[in-house]
Amino acid sequence: MSSPTQTQTEPTRETGETRVARLQGVWNEYLPVWFTAPMVLVMVLITFFPGAYNLYLSLIDEPTLNVFQAEFVGLSNFEAAFTLAGATHSLVITLTLVASALLLETVLGFGLAALVAGVDSDRLQSFYRILFIIPMAVAPVSLATIGRIMLNSEVGIIPYLIETTTPFAAPAFLSEMPLLTVILLDTWNWTPFMFIIFYAGLSSVPETLLEASRVDGAPLWRRYVHVIIPYMKPVVFVATLIRMIDLFRTFGVVYGLTQGGPGTATQLVSINIYEQMFINVQTTVAAAIAVVYLVMVIAICNIVIAKVGFKGVWD
Amino acid sequence: MATTDIEPGSSQRLDTDTRETVVTVVRHAVLLTWSVIVLFPLYWLASMSLKPPSEVNALPPDWIFLPTVYNYIQLLQNPDFIAAFTNSLVMVSASVVLVLLIGVPAAYVLSRYDVPMERDVLVWILSSRMLPPIAVVLPFFIVYRELNLFDTRIGMIFMYVSINLSLVIWVMKAFFDGIPETLEEAARVDGATRFQGFRKVVLPAAKPGIFSVAIISFIFAWIELLFGLMLTSFEAVPVTLFVYSFIGSRSIEWGMLAAASMSMIVPVAIFLVAVNRYLAAGLSFGVVLKE
C-alpha cells in the first residue's frame, strides 16, 4: 500500500481525475453561459456596432476611424439626407413595395396552402408542395435575370405572348410599370415561403377540432373563419413579421432589374443609400439616411409586435 | 344505421356530392394555374440556357429546338465563374455550420432555462434582422479595410452568419419548446449530465428543425448580393456577383446569363426537394408538433 511508487502515482492520477471531474462540473453548471456566450458576442457585433458606428458617421464631416480626428457637424448630414431630392419618394415606394408584396404573398400563400392541404391524394399533395416551394431557390439576381429575359420589350416572351394572343398592346414592363413589376416578381419569388409555413400550420390543426365542427354541420368557410384561422393566428403573425422584415431589406432584385430606375421609379431606400455611398461618395450622408431608416424599420416592427403581440405565439 | 340513412338522405347526398366535385375541379384548376406560373419562368430560363446563340432571341420563339450545352461549356471554361462558384460554396457552407454551432445551443438555453427578460432578448435577436443590410455593411466595410478582412472568405463568412443567426435561434427555440423536457429528465435520472442530455437526447429529436433551418440559412446566404458587392473585390467574390456582372455588362449574352442563373438555382432546388419532408415541420415556429 505504502510503497513509494504507488504513493507517487496515486495522487497525480487522483488530481488528474478530479480536475477533469471539476472541469466537467464547471462545464455543466455554467452550461447556459457557454452556450450563449458566442451568440451574445456575435449579436453585439452585428447590432450595437453597426448602429453606433452609423450614428457616429452620421454626425461627422469626413469618415475616419479615429474619434479624436473627427469633426462633428451636428445634424447637417441629416438635413442633407432629408432635403435630398427623392428622399421622401424612396421612402414612399419602399413602403408601397413592403405593404403590397406582403399582402399579396400572405393571401396567396394562405390560399394555396389551404387548397393543397385539401387535396385528397397524398402523392398529389406532396407533388404540389414540392413544386410550389421551388421559386424560393431562385436568388434575387437570377430573378432579375428572368425578369430581364422574359419581360424585355424587344425579345421577351411575355410581351410577345400578350401581343399575339390578346388584342392588347403589351406594356413596357420595366420602363412603364417598374415598381409593379418588382412587386409581382417578389411575389413569385417569396409566396413559397408563406405557403410552406401556412401549409405546416394548416396540417397541424388538431383533427378533433375539425371533427367537432364537421359534426356540427358547419360549412367549409365557417370552419375556416371560426376554427382554422383563429388557430393559425400565431403562425400567420410570425410568418408575416419575418417576411415584412425581409421585404424592408429588398435590394438584389431591384439592383439587378432596374438599378433603381428608370429615373428614380424604383429607388428604394436601400438603393438610395447604396448610391449615396458608392456613386456620390457621400458616406456620412448615406450613414444619416441609414440611421433614419434603421430607426424607422425597428419602430415599425416593434409597433407590430406590441399591437399584434406575442400573445399565443409562445405563451 | 346505414340502411336508415339512405332513404331520406339521398337527395341531400347528391347535393353534397356535386358540390364536392365542383370544389375539387376549382381546386385543381387554381393549383394547376399556379403550377404553370411557377414553372413557366423556370422552363423559359432553362430553355434559353440550352439554346444555341442564334436561337436565343428568336421571336416567334423556337418552341422545338435541339438543346445544346454550349452555354454551360462556355461557363465552365470561365475561370472567374469556377472561382466564384467555389467561393460561394465554401463560404456559404462554412457559415451554415458556424451559425448552427452558435445558434442551436443558444436556442436550447432560451428554451430550457429561465432567461431574464426572455421576450426582450428574443426581440433583440430578431432586431438584428431588422437592420437593413445596407445600413450594416457600411461600418463593416470601413472596419474590414482596417482589419484586412476586406475581400476575404473569413470576412464574408461572418457576414453570412450575421444574416442567419436570428432565424436559427427563433426557429430552433420554438422547436426545442416542442420537445418534452421529460425526455432529458429521464436521461439525467439515468446519470447523464446536462450536456449529455442535450447532445444525446434533445439534438436527435430536433433533427427536422436543424435540417430545415440549415437549408433556409444556406439559401439566404447563397442568394445574398449586397455583402459580396461591397465587401469583396476579387478574391472572395460570390457567385451572385458573377451573375450580376453579366447583367451589368452592356451587350448581354442571354444564353450565358441564363446558364449562370441556372447554375445558381439547380443546386438549391435539389436541396429543397431533398429536405422538403422536413421543411414543413421545421418552419412551423413551434406550432406544428406532429409528423
- Each residue's pLDDT tens digit, B227-286: 998 899 989 999 999 988 887 666 778 888 899 999 999 989 988 888 877 777 766 665
Nearest by CB to residue B247, choosing from A51, A120, A256, is: A256
Q: Which residues contact A46 (CB under 8 A, 6 or more apart)?
A: B128, B131, B136, B162, B165
Q: Do residues A113 and A199 touch, judged by C-beta distance below 8 A?
A: yes
The three-state secondary structure class of A240 is helix
Tell me the pLDDT tens digit for each residue of A22-63.
Answer: 888 888 888 888 999 999 999 999 989 888 888 888 898 877
Which of A172, A152, A162 has the alpha carbon at shortest distance from B258? A152
Question: Residue range A174-192: average pLDDT?
Answer: 93
More confidently predicted of A234 and A171: A171
Residues of A with Cβ-Cβ distance to B285 under 8 angstroms: 197, 234-235, 238-239, 313
What are the structural domains of chain A?
22-72 (no CATH), 86-279 (1.10.3720.10)
- Binned at pLDDT 50, 70 and 90, residue B181 comes out as confident
Nearest by CB to residue B27, choosing from A119, A298, A313, is: A119
Q: Which residues contact B71 (CB under 8 A, 6 or more apart)?
A: B49, B50, B255, B256, B258, B259
Residues of A with Cβ-Cβ distance to B140 under 8 angstroms: 50
d(CA B8, CA B5): 6
The three-state secondary structure class of B131 is coil
Nearest by CB to residue A157, choosing from B44, B124, B133, is: B44
Tell me the pLDDT tens digit for each residue of A91-103.
Answer: 999 999 999 999 9
- CA A153 to chain centroid: 31
* Grid coordinates belonging to A6: 504507488
d(CA A101, CA A268): 14
d(CA A130, CA B207): 20
- Binned at pLDDT 50, 70 and 90, residue A21 comes out as confident
Q: Is the pLDDT of residue B34 over 70?
A: yes
Look at A59-73, A250-264, B142-156 and tell me which has the smallest mean pLDDT.
A59-73
Look at A68-72, A157-161, A193-197 and tell me which has the smallest mean pLDDT.
A68-72
Mean of the per-residue pLDDT values of chain A = 84
Half-sphere exposure at residue A282, Cβ-oriented, CA atoms within 13 angstroms: 17
Pairs of CB atoms within 8 A across A/B: 278
Look at A12-21, A164-173, B1-10 and tell me which has the smallest mean pLDDT.
B1-10
The three-state secondary structure class of B104 is helix
Look at A20-34, B75-89, B148-162, B226-240 and tell me which has the smallest mean pLDDT.
A20-34
Q: Is the pLDDT of residue A2 over 70?
A: no
d(CA A243, CA A107): 13
CATH number, domain of B195, equals 1.10.3720.10
The vertex-A310 CA angle with A308 and A314, nearest 5°, equals: 150
Residues of B with Cβ-Cβ distance to A35 under 8 angstroms: 105-106, 108-109
Window A:37-96, CB contacts with B under 8 Å: 38-39, 42-43, 45-47, 49-51, 53-54, 57, 63, 65
Dihedral sign of CA atoms A65, A69, A71, A75 in order: positive
B198 in any annotated domain:
yes
Q: What is the ipTM of this complex?
A: 0.85
Give me the amino acid identity at B161: V
Structural domain of B190 = 78-245
Is-above-0.90 flag for pTM? no
Interchain pair B240, A54: CB under 8 A: no
**A23 has a chain B CB within 8 A of its CB:** no
d(CA A151, CA A159): 6
pLDDT attached to residue B249: 66
Question: Residue range A191-207: average pLDDT?
Answer: 85
Question: Residue range B201-207: average pLDDT?
Answer: 89
* Grid coordinates belonging to A238: 410570425
Interchain pair A293, B132: CB under 8 A: yes
| Residue the block writes with cell 416542442 | B178
d(CA B82, CA B78): 7
Percent of chain A with pLDDT over 90: 23
Q: Do residues B290 and A204 touch, judged by C-beta distance below 8 A?
A: yes
**A310 has a chain B CB within 8 A of its CB:** yes
Q: Do residues B192 and A28 touch, judged by C-beta distance below 8 A?
A: no
Candidates A27, A39, A311, partner chain B, best to mutate (most B CBs within 10 A): A39
d(CA B246, CA A256): 10
- The span from the first CA to the last CA of chain A, in angstroms, equals 62
A165, B99, B289 from B168: Cα distances, Å: 47, 7, 18
More confidently predicted of A135 and B275: A135
Number of domains in chain B: 1
Q: Is the pLDDT of residue A14 over 70?
A: no
B19 in any annotated domain:
no
Q: Is the pLDDT of residue A181 over 50?
A: yes
Mean of the per-residue pLDDT values of chain B = 85
d(CA B33, CA A296): 38
pLDDT attached to residue A315: 45
B287 in any annotated domain:
no
Q: Do residues B102 and A34 touch, judged by C-beta distance below 8 A?
A: no
Give the bridge partners for A72, in sequence order: A60
Phi, psi of A60 (to 5 degrees): -115, 170
B276 in any annotated domain:
no
B67 in any annotated domain:
no
* Grid coordinates belonging to B218: 444556406
B49 in any annotated domain:
no
Q: Do residues A226 and A210 touch, judged by C-beta distance below 8 A?
A: no
Which of A50, A85, A27, A92 has the alpha carbon at shortest distance from A269? A92
Interchain pair B102, A197: CB under 8 A: no
Whether the upstream peptide bond of residue A262 has omega within 30° of 0, thus cis, is yes
**A202 has a chain B CB within 8 A of its CB:** no
B14 in any annotated domain:
no
pLDDT attached to residue A260: 80
What 8-state DSSP symbol labels residue A169?
Answer: P
pLDDT attached to residue B60: 76
Angle formed by the axes of helices B254-282 and A122-133, nearest 10°: 130
d(CA A157, CA B46): 14
B82 in any annotated domain:
yes
